[in-house]
Amino acid sequence: MNLFIRDARLPDQTDPVHISIQDGRIQAIGAGITLTDPDIPVLDAHGLAATPPLVNGHTHASMTLFRGFGDDMPLMQWLQTRIWPAEARLNEEDVYWGARLACLEMIRSGTVAFEDMYWHFHGMARAVEESGLKAGVGAVMIDVAGPEQGQACRKLTEKTFEESSRYSNRVRFTLTPHAIYTVSPESLRWTAAFSERHDLPVHIHLSETWHEVETCLKNHGVRPAVHLDRQGLLTPRVILAHGVWLDDEELDLIAARGATLVTNPVSNMKLAVGGVFPFAKAAARNIPIALGSDGAASNNTLDLFQEMKFLALIQKHAQHDPTALPAHQVWEVATGAKAPQLGQCAQLTVGAPADLLLLRHHEPEMTPEHDLISNLVYSATGHIVDTTIVSGRILMQNRMVPNEEEIRREARERAQRVCSP
């Protein structure tokens, strides 16, 4: 895809620049560059700021169908009476439309890449393919029912992996064992071997609740990260979601193994897990860190602009320090600059994939502009995103996304059906 963006402002500069995109990559940036090929479309970005896009390190996209379906309930009652019965009714088309709604929401709030974990791989993968976004997609693995379920899961994973070649490279096949308390050591070890053999990323929940830590200590005699490491599943290919209760020893281990941590502040607060992700300790060990929204059922939005503010504020609150996690650091985390494993280029530089946002940085809530990044983290919402571009392709311009009406209607109807007893 080729595109010439005229007169965009970069966050650290006052004079506007032009951005030339060729074959989906940034070919040149500067005030002096000119459009040489009259056939290349021109995008007028006057009054807009160009920034890297945001990256969602942990979500269950199709759970948009369950947004607001049983908020404020005790966890087990919510799962048993609302989520599980509804999930049992989900088919691949439901997952597809739920994911389309999630992708629509992400495009509108400036997220271009995400790590997903859910059922019905092909529903999810098709939605990513058609939306124009990038995602790590997996077929979730749970084998609490015993060895037969484990075998079926592993077989499904192998089959799905083969089938995943039908998608473009925007769909990255990912191994998604659910968690240490829902996946057997045997299946975890199998996942580790499969990941190594095919060089595949792994995405798993870890240390979300204190109950998980206690159960792991009781069943395995060690804390969650140590247990995972013993199954061979702490590697640079592994993405660990939550990590609320990790202790110093576990953080040392994760740092040594090179795994990535994803913090989900809104979900952790909404479900009242009690603890706060040990950001300062993880950052001090140079552990790669990304930001995640978790699913819409426990958030309830996928807007990472809002999530950035929660990240900064819960860390300041928990550390009793207003200087903790300043805005510029939050911005780095949310754009994926601190988590190279997520594969997103967080810099607008020549040669990088042309993934970028054009932002309405003059909105009233962004005025005055003493510090654009401060405004982005503490005052903006996803609604300031005017234009979302992936690999030079415009997914939204002037806040208009094609097929929005159809996606909202289909998702609404399917949500109603799967949530009706």
Site residues (CB under 8 A) for a second copy, limited to 338-397: 362, 364-365, 367-371, 374-375, 378-379, 381-383
Footprint of a second copy on 289-348 (CB under 8 A): 296, 299-303, 306, 309-310, 312-314, 316-317, 319-327
Residue 123 or residue 177: which is nearer to a second copy going by CB?
123
Which of 23, 31, 44, 71 touches a second copy (CB under 8 A)? 71
Q: Strand ranges (DSSP E) for 88-209?
A: 111-116, 134-137, 140-141, 171-173, 176-177, 202-206
Q: Does 263 bind a second copy (CB under 8 A)?
A: no
The residue with tokens 């190279």 is: 340
Q: Measure the CA–CA gap between 294 and 310, rounded to whole angstroms.
A: 13
119 exposure class (CB count in 10 Å sphere: 0-12, 13-18, 19+): middle
Nearest to 342 by CA among 220, 418, 222, 237: 237
CB of residue 319 to a second copy, shortest distance in Å: 7
Q: Does 72 bind a second copy (CB under 8 A)?
A: yes
Residue 199 or residue 405: which is nearer to a second copy going by CB?
405
CB of residue 203 to a second copy, shortest distance in Å: 24
Residue 258 or residue 326: which is nearer to a second copy going by CB?
326
Which of 6, 25, 270, 281 touches a second copy (CB under 8 A)? 270
Q: Measure the CA–CA gap between 63 and 65, rounded to whole angstroms.
A: 5
In angstroms, the Cα distances linking 21 to 5, 24, 59, 350, 398 are: 8, 6, 30, 9, 19
Residue 51 or residue 109: which is nearer to a second copy going by CB?
109
Q: Is 407 helix (H, G, I), strand (E, B) or coil?
A: helix
CB of residue 77 to a second copy, shortest distance in Å: 9
Query: Which two structure tokens, joined as six digits, stand for 320?
Result: 């009793």
Residue 71 or residue 196: which is nearer to a second copy going by CB?
71
CB of residue 321 to a second copy, shortest distance in Å: 5
CB of residue 300 to a second copy, shortest distance in Å: 4
Q: Quick check: 20 and 372 in contact, CB under 8 A?
A: no
Q: Quick check: 298 and 269 in contact, CB under 8 A?
A: no
**Would the CA dihedral through 378, 383, 385, 388 be positive or negative?**
positive
Query: Which two structure tokens, joined as six digits, stand for 213?
Result: 């830590």
CB of residue 305 to a second copy, shortest distance in Å: 9
Q: Measure the CA–CA gap between 344 and 110, rounded to whole angstroms.
A: 13
CB of residue 56 to a second copy, shortest distance in Å: 14
CB of residue 173 to a second copy, shortest distance in Å: 27
Which of 10, 28, 33, 75 touches a second copy (CB under 8 A)? 75
Q: Which amino acid is at 354?
A: A
CB of residue 329 to a second copy, shortest distance in Å: 9
Q: Does 160 bind a second copy (CB under 8 A)?
A: no
Residue 101 or residue 183: which is nearer to a second copy going by CB?
101
Say how far residue 136 (Cα) sits from the centre of its chain.
9
Q: Measure the CA–CA gap between 180 and 193, rounded to whole angstroms.
A: 16
Residue 220 or residue 360: which is nearer to a second copy going by CB?
360
How many residues bind to a second copy according to rule CB under 8 A? 71
Q: Measure the CA–CA gap between 106 and 119, rounded to whole angstroms.
A: 20
